[in-house]
Amino acid sequence: MKPVLTIRDLHKSFGKNEVLKGINLSVGEGEVIALIGASGSGKSTLLRCVNRLETPTSGSIEYQGQTISDVNINQMRREIGMVFQRFNLFPHLTAADNIALAPRKVLGSETAIARAAAIDLLKQVKLAEKADAFPGELSGGQQQRVAIARALGLKPKVMLFDEPTSALDPELVGEVLEVMRDLAQLGMTMIVATHEMGFAREVAKRVIFLDSGRILEEGSPDQVLGNPKEERTREFLSRVLNR
Amino acid sequence: MGQSSLPQIKSRGELVIATDPTYPPFEYMEKEKMVGFDVDIGNEIGKDLGLKVRWVGLEWAGVLGSLESGKCDLAMAGVTITEERKKHGYIFSRPYMLSGQEIVRRKGDNRINGPKDLIDKVVSVQQETTGQYAVQKLGVPKDRLLRFDQVQDGLMNVRNGKSDATVGDLPTIKAILQKGYPELEMVGEPFVKESLGIVVWKNNADLDGLINRSLALMMVDGRYAAAYKKWFKEPLTTSIVAELENRKGQGSPVKEIPLENFAKIERAPNMGGSAFTFRWDLVREALPQMLKGALLTIELTLLSLIFGIPSGLIFALMRISKAKPLKAIATVYVEIIRGTPLLMQIYVIYFVLPAVGLELSAMVSGILALSLNAAAYISEIFRAGIESIDSGQMEAARSLGMTYGQAMQNVILPQTVRRVLPPMTNEAVALLKDSSLVSVVALAELMRVGKEIATNGGSPTTVYVTVAAIYLAMTLPLTWLVRRLEDQWQPISRPRDGARTFKKVKA
Grade residue B7 by pLDDT with cuts at 50, 70 and 90: confident
The predicted structure's pLDDT at residue B495: 37
The mean of the pLDDT values for chain B is: 87
CB A90 to CB B399 under 8 A? Answer: no
**Degrees to nearest 5, angle at CA B283 with B280 and B286:** 150
pLDDT tens, B328-342? 999 999 999 999 999
CB B402 to CB A106 under 8 A? Answer: yes
Nearest chain A residue to B417 by CA distance is A92
CB A82 to CB B403 under 8 A? Answer: no
How far does B475 lie from chain A, in Å, by closest CA? 29
Q: How many other CB atoms are there within 10 angstroms of residue A200's CB atom?
A: 22
Grade residue A171 by pLDDT with cuts at 50, 70 and 90: very high
pLDDT tens, B443-489? 888 988 888 787 766 677 888 899 999 999 999 988 888 788 777 76
Nearest chain B residue to A154 by CA distance is B400
How far does B316 lie from chain A, in Å, by closest CA? 22
Q: How many other CB atoms are there within 10 angstroms of residue A44's CB atom?
A: 19
8 A C-beta contact, residue B172 and residue B23 = yes
Name chain B contacts of A150, Cβ cutoff 8 Å. 400
Name chain A contacts of B398, Cβ cutoff 8 Å. 53, 77
CB B401 to CB A134 under 8 A? Answer: no
- Quote the CA–CA distance of A179 and A103 in Å, as a whole number: 21
- Quote the CA–CA distance of B109 and B184 in Å, as a whole number: 9
SS3 A192: strand
The predicted structure's pLDDT at residue B505: 37
8 A C-beta contact, residue B386 and residue B416 = yes
For residue B231, pLDDT beyond 50: yes
The predicted structure's pLDDT at residue A1: 63
For residue B99, pLDDT beyond 60: yes
Name chain A contacts of B385, Cβ cutoff 8 Å. none
Those of residues 143-182 in A touching chain B at CB distance below 8 A are 147, 150-151, 153-154
How far does A168 lie from chain B, in Å, by closest CA? 12
How far does B313 lie from chain A, in Å, by closest CA? 20
Grade residue B268 by pLDDT with cuts at 50, 70 and 90: low
The predicted structure's pLDDT at residue B272: 46
CB A137 to CB B398 under 8 A? Answer: no
Grade residue A93 by pLDDT with cuts at 50, 70 and 90: very high
pLDDT tens, A178-225? 999 999 999 999 999 999 999 999 999 999 999 999 999 999 999 999
What's the ipTM? 0.94
pTM over 0.90: no
The predicted structure's pLDDT at residue B128: 86
CB B396 to CB A136 under 8 A? Answer: no
Query: What is the mean predicted confidence (pLDDT) over A38-52?
Result: 94
Name chain B contacts of A81, Cβ cutoff 8 Å. 399-400
CB A88 to CB B390 under 8 A? Answer: yes
pLDDT tens, B164-174? 999 999 988 98
Query: What is the mean predicted confidence (pLDDT) over A229-234?
Result: 93
Name chain A contacts of B403, Cβ cutoff 8 Å. 74
- Quote the CA–CA distance of B96 and B91 in Å, as a whole number: 14
Name chain A contacts of B393, Cβ cutoff 8 Å. 88, 90
For residue B69, pLDDT beyond 80: no
Query: What is the mean predicted confidence (pLDDT) over A137-147?
Result: 96
Name chain A contacts of B397, Cβ cutoff 8 Å. 90, 102
Measured N-to-C along each axis, helices B460-489 and B280-320 cross at an angle, to the nearest 10 degrees, of: 40
Nearest chain B residue to A54 by CA distance is B395
Sequential DSSP letters for B418-438? HHHHHHHHHHHHHHHHHGGGG
Grade residue B499 by pLDDT with cuts at 50, 70 and 90: very low
Name chain B contacts of A101, Cβ cutoff 8 Å. 400, 410-411
Those of residues 51-110 in A touching chain B at CB distance below 8 A are 51, 53, 74-75, 77-78, 81-82, 84, 86, 88-92, 101-102, 105-106
CB A53 to CB B415 under 8 A? Answer: no
The predicted structure's pLDDT at residue A31: 95
Return all residues near B218 (Cβ < 8 A) that are at least 6 apart.
Answer: B41, B44, B224
Nearest residue, CB atoms, B411 vs list A81, A90, A151:
A90
8 A C-beta contact, residue B2 and residue B273 = yes
